[in-house]
Structure 1
Amino acid sequence: MRRVRYESTGGPLFVEEVPVPAPGPGELLVRCAAVGVTLPMVRKVAEAAEPVPLGGEIAGEVVAAGEGTTRFRAGDRVTGLCFGHGYAEYALLHEAMASPVPDGADAVTAVTLVRSGLVAWGALEAARLAPGESVLVTAAASGVGHLAVQLARARGAGRVVAAVSGPRGAEAAAGRTKADFVRSLGAHDCVRYDDDSWGDPFDCALDAVGGDLLTPALAALAPHGRLVAYSSGGGTIRAYDLLVGAKSVIGFQMALIARGRPEVYERWRRELWRLCAAGALKPAVHGEFALEDTAAAHAAITGRANLGKVVLRP
Structure 2
Amino acid sequence: MRAVQITEFGGPEVLRLVELPDPVAQPGQLLIEVDAIGVNYADTHAVEDSYLSSSTLPMVPGGEVVGRTADGRRVVALTATGGYAERAVAWEPMALDVPDGVSDAAALALVVQGLTAWNLLRTSAKLAPGESVVVHAAAGGTGSLAVQLAKRFGAGRVIATASTKEKRELALELGADVAVEAEGEGLKERLVEANGGKKVDIVLEMTGGPVFDASLAALAPFGRLVAYGMASRTAPQPIVAASLMARSRAVVGFWLMHCLGRPELHAEPMAELLRLVAQGELRPLTGEAYPLSEVARAHEDLRARRTTGKLVLDPRG
Q: TM-score range by the shorter chain?
A: 0.7 to 0.9
Matched to 2:305, the amino acid is R
Partner of residue 15, structure 1: 17
Please give the alpha-carbon distance, in whole angstroms, between the structure 2 residues aligned to 1:3 and 1:309.
20
Assess if the C-alpha contact under 8 Å between 2:225 and 2:251 holds in 1: yes
Q: Does 1:87 align with 2:76?
A: no
For residue 307 of structure 1, report the CA deviation from its aligned partner.
1.2
1:153-232 map, 5 Å? 153-165=151-163, 168=164, 177-193=166-182, 194-196=184-186, 197=189, 198=191, 199=193, 200=195, 201-231=199-229
The offset of 1:2, in angstroms, is 0.5
Q: CA deviation at 1:97?
A: 1.7
CA contact (8 A) 1:13 1:295 kept: yes
How far apart are 1:213 and its partner, in Å? 2.7
Match of 1:42 among 38, 41, 44: 44
User: How far is the alpha carbon of 1:185 from its aligned partner?
Assistant: 0.9
The answer for the alignment partner of 1:285 in structure 2 is 286
Find the aligned partners of 2:215 and 2:91 in 1 and give their Cα distance: 35
C-alpha contact (below 8 Å) 1:80/1:98 kept by paired residues: yes
Question: What is the rounded CA distance, in whole Å, between the counterparts of 1:42 and 1:94 in structure 2?
Answer: 23
Does 2:149 correspond to 1:151?
yes
- Range with greater deviation from structure 2 (24-33 or 286-295): 24-33
Counterpart Cα distance in 2 of 1:300 and 1:143: 14
Aligned to 1:110: 107
- Once residues 132 and 44 of structure 1 are traced to their aligned partners in structure 2, the CA distance between those partners, rounded to angstroms, is 38
What's the secondary structure of 2:69's corresponding residue?
strand
Is structure 2 residue 301 aligned with structure 1 residue 300? yes
Contact 1:80–1:115 (CA under 8 A) maintained in structure 2? no
Aligned to 2:126: 128
**Partner secondary structure for residue 121 of structure 2:** helix
The alpha carbon displacement at 1:130 in A equals 1.4
The answer as to whether partners of 1:9 and 1:50 remain within 8 angstroms in 2 is no
Q: Secondary structure of 1:304's match?
A: coil
Label 1:95 to 1:84 Cα distance change in 2 as closer, same or farther (>3 A).
same
How far 1:75 sits from its partner (Å)? Answer: 1.3
Aligned-partner Cα distance in 2 for 1:195–1:141: 21
Q: Aligned pair 1:29/2:31, yes or no? A: yes
Deviation at 1:164, TM superposition (A): 2.3
Q: List gaps (5 residues or longer) in structure 1.
A: 64-73, 172-176
Task: Give the counterpart letter for 2:36 in structure 1.
Answer: A
One-letter code of the match for 1:78?
V
Matched residue SS, 1:28: strand
Distance 1:150 1:195, change over 3 A: farther
Residue 265 (structure 1) aligns with: 266
Deviation of 1:59 (Å): 1.1
Question: Given that residues 8 and 50 in structure 1 are in contact (C-alpha distance below 8 angstroms), is that contact kept between their aligned partners in structure 2?
Answer: no
Give the 5 Å matches for 1:58-69. 58-63=65-70
Q: Does 1:53 find its partner at 2:60? A: yes
Note the C-alpha offset of 1:120: 0.2
| Displacement of 1:211 | 3.9
- Which residue is 1:6 aligned to? 6
How far 1:195 sits from its partner (Å)?
4.8
Q: Secondary structure at the match of 1:256?
A: helix
SS where residue 287 of structure 1 aligns? strand
Cα drift, residue 47 of structure 1: 4.6
> 2:25–2:89: 8 Å Cα contact kept in structure 1?
yes
Show CA shifts across 1:88-118 (max 9, x none): 1101112222222113322221111232111
- Length-normalised TM-score, structure 2: 0.86
Quick one: percent identity of the two aligned structures?
40
- 2:110 counterpart letter in structure 1: L
TM-score by length of 1: 0.87
Deviation at 1:278, TM superposition (A): 3.2
Could you report, residue by residue, the CA deviation over 1:152-195 in whole angstroms, capped at 9, with x for unpaired residues? 11112111111223xx5xx7xxxxx1112211111111122225
SS in 1 for 2:298: helix
Number of residue pairs the alignment of both structures matches: 294
Report the 3-state secondary structure (helix = DSSP H, G, I; strand = E; otherwise coil) of the residue aligned with 1:262.
coil
CA contact (8 A) 2:78 2:111 kept: no
Shift of 1:12: 3.0
Is the contact between residue 4 and residue 54 of structure 1 (CA under 8 Å) also seen in structure 2?
Answer: yes
